[in-house]
Amino acid sequence: MQFAAPMDDEAIAALEQLKKTVRIAFCGVMQSTRLPPMAALSLAAMAVGSLYLEVAAAHRGDNPCPCGWQPRSASDVEALQTSLALSAEQPRANFHAIQVAGNA
């Protein structure tokens, strides 16, 4: 699943739920450790990676999840990297468009 495309309401709600949960966990780590922010953020990314391994494992073998998803490690990890990169980008404010509109 790629999230470069616009998300539907269900995905937006799921994202908000996950953001809230991850933020709470991250703040807990920051308060209970002396880890610098990037170290804690890297651990959060590693936690997502290990979650991927668990979910992928549940979709392989003799008694896989019946949903039909077939993990493809290389392209799945690439999709996760893309999602991380896109969501970490600064939102691009279009100041030029705002100025032009303001001067019109």
| Residues of this chain that bind Zn ion (CB under 5 A) | 65, 67, 69
Residue (45 or 65) nearer to Zn ion, CB: 65
Instruction: Tally Cβ neighbours within 10 Å of residue 34.
Output: 6
Residue (3 or 69) nearer to Zn ion, CB: 69
What minimum distance in Å lies between the beta carbon of 71 and Zn ion?
10
Nearest to 77 by CA among 60, 43, 59, 53: 53
**Six-digit token string for 95:** 């100041």
Residue (48 or 57) nearer to Zn ion, CB: 57
Could you give the CA distance from residue 11 to residue 1 in angstroms, rounded to a whole number?
Answer: 11
**Cα four-point dihedral sign 13, 49, 70, 62:** negative
What minimum distance in Å lies between the beta carbon of 27 and Zn ion?
31
What minimum distance in Å lies between the beta carbon of 65 and Zn ion?
3
**Six-digit token string for 37:** 């922010």
